[in-house]
Structure 1
Amino acid sequence: MKKKVVITSEFFGRFSNEAERLLLEAGFEVVGNPYKKFLNEEEVISIVGDADAIICDLEKITKKVIDSAPNLKVIARRGVGVDSVDVAYAAEKDVLVARTLGVVEKPVAELVMAYILQIYRRIGESNKAMKEGSWTKILGNSLEGKVLGIVGLGNIGKELIRKAKAFDMEIVYSDVMRNTEAEEALGIQYVSFEELIENADIISIHAPLLESTKNLFNYDTMKKMKKQPVLINTARGPIVNEEDLCTALEEGLVSFAAIDVFDVEPKTDSPLRNHDNAILTPHNGTFTKEVFINMDILAAKNIIDYFK
């Protein structure tokens, strides 16, 4: 009897059928997302009942979902974060949780650099002025010598460091675990979290969402930012307190913010919408055609490899 792969992802196969072809050729039955949208818990449960494997995005794979699929052996995430999956319960039920490592790091780092260049060179403002018929030279800032602080030295943080090095930035990082090997290889300096927020011109968050990182960037944290830095979050929304960030932007504690992730998604009513010194994007970090195809293929291969 064929193993069944149920696709709860709304984006799987959007640009290529290569991943589905791999699964079919390997002898799997493949069932797509019939709703063609981001699924809530009830909708996920309605389609995974006889699944041997699931390919998901950020829809919640909860204890109830796992219990509703008694044959489930693999949950393949299109991405690297697993906070949307009840990993502990999956382990308890002997269900493997796989990620698409090596696929998302570069595009997320590209987005962060795009934010930095947009903010520092004030491209949007210059474009707006020109289109309004005004030849106004808007003074920006150079990146050379600016201190980039990386909070969380995972694979995305390391990729960002490689890209930022090309702009001659000084780079420091903070993490729960010091990585001397990365320090030597990448030419970066470890500092405490307190030192980082006090001295960085730009702070980019790449930490996972844990109890210890939830609300990590609150008003008290932002009051300690001596350089009124640019704050960038492409990790997880709840790491930054949105209301506190609004206050910090208004008071000049943070000069500019670039936010790609939110406490609830999708979110169209963020209070940050009212701030000209904030750039908001709808969780676009991995949103490129190439990444979608590669995530599909790696998620499929993770399932194929497991059952082999």
Structure 2
Amino acid sequence: MVDERKSVVVTQKFFDEGTLRFLEENGCDVTVARFADGVTDATASEAELIALLGGADAWIVGHASVTLSLLRALPRLKVVARRGVGYEKVDLDAAKQTGKAVTIAAGGNEESVADRTLALMLGVAHRLRESQQQLIDGPGAILLGHDLYARTVGIVGLGRIARNVVRRLKAFDVTVLVHTPRPDPAYAEAMGVEYVDLATLLRRSDFVSLHAPFKPDTRHLINAERLSLMKGDAVLINTARGGLVDDRALLAALAAGRLGGAGLDVFESEAAPDLADVTRELVRRPDVVATPHSGASTHEGLRRTNRVAAHCVVSVLNNQAPPAGCLIVGPAPRRSV
């Protein structure tokens, strides 16, 4: 319980009543921002955000850009809590400079995104989109797809979501290849995975699933050259970040029949609006199953991430350590939870 009531502003949609009660019971007065139709915290102006957050001690944020000028305008703010695990839109140096804590909702959405990853693999391999369209258009011809069972799946990156994907894949008797900068021999032995370099993974895999963070050195990790290494009937899955894939190159590979299909929950155009036409072409393709960066957006997943973000807020306001893996920037707490 915080020593005196604090102000928490939430600028994300789908914030559940249970988490609101948790914050209120822990000494917080909560305001859930209401934006005009078509506006989110990602598209709101800095002036709008400052007006909302001027009296806030804590901010539970979605996809807004958190800049130095914004943080300087919010001297009372102590913590920026991401309801999610990506923090590329938060200027971490600015947070350090202005003395703000930054947290993520580690452990909240990984099960939901892992489920979506498998759903995209199966959806593309079994040609579910095309088969449904056949039924809509008539007469409903039978289209042959591919099994996931007993195939080879390449996992790029080995964080929480990737490990949950691997755990699910074991039920399909697949061979799992992993490319990661930090191989864990004990994990490989326990889960029966094989560590390989990226080129080997791309050549051998029937499915390639991306789970790497987006950083300057991972931008276009999958480009035209690397797409050319993949099997002609392989499926690319991206539920991580759009910038990991050169979407123009992916579109070209699909159009030329050099790839079996793609399952996409993220797109390069999210950060590069000039690529919106490329996204439109990708999602219209029959060999692409696409969702709008919504892999974590289940009722259960959002309740979990809401609660983790709220725990982070209460911990920081109490000068306690947030849950494990959640603190990205912030002073060392004087005591732990």
Secondary structure at 2:120 match in 1: helix
* Structure 1 CA distance for aligned equivalents of residues 187 and 97 of structure 2: 33
Secondary structure at 2:60 match in 1: strand
* Cross-structure match for 2:9: 6
Percent identical:
33
Deviations 1:52-72 (A, max 9, x none): 111011221222221121122
1:229 pairs with 2:234: yes
* Structure 1 CA distance for aligned equivalents of residues 127 and 102 of structure 2: 42
Q: Determine which of 249, 256, 280 is the counterpart of 2:254.
A: 249
Aligned amino acid, residue 154 of structure 2: G
Q: Please report the TM-score for the alignment, with normalisation by the length of structure 1.
A: 0.92
* Cross-structure match for 2:23: 23
Q: Please report the TM-score for the alignment, with normalisation by the length of structure 2.
A: 0.84
Secondary structure at 1:125 match in 2: helix
Aligned ranges 1:183-202 → 2 under 5 Å: 183-202=188-207
Aligned amino acid, residue 272 of structure 1: L
Change (3 A) 1:187 1:222: same
Aligned ranges 1:288-303 → 2 under 5 Å: 288-303=298-313
* Structure 2 CA distance for aligned equivalents of residues 189 and 132 of structure 1: 44
Change (3 A) 1:273 1:121: closer
1:287 pairs with 2:297: yes
Aligned ranges 1:22-171 → 2 under 5 Å: 22-35=22-35, 37-39=39-41, 40-42=44-46, 43-134=48-139, 136-171=141-176
Deviations 1:200-257 (A, max 9, x none): 1111111111001111111122122245421111111111111111111112232201
Change (3 A) 1:48 1:172: same
* Structure 2 CA distance for aligned equivalents of residues 173 and 45 of structure 1: 44
Deviations 1:36-63 (A, max 9, x none): 6412342323322232111011221222
Aligned ranges 1:210-225 → 2 under 5 Å: 210-225=215-230
State how many pairs are aligned. 305
Which segments of 5 or more consecutive residues in structure 1 lack a partner in the other structure? none
* Structure 2 CA distance for aligned equivalents of residues 25 and 232 of structure 1: 41
* Structure 2 CA distance for aligned equivalents of residues 151 and 247 of structure 1: 22
Larger RCO (CA under 8 A, 6+ residues apart): 2
Deviations 1:56-96 (A, max 9, x none): 11221222221121122211111111112112321333322
- CA RMSD in angstroms comes to 1.9
Deviation (angstroms), 1:125: 2.8
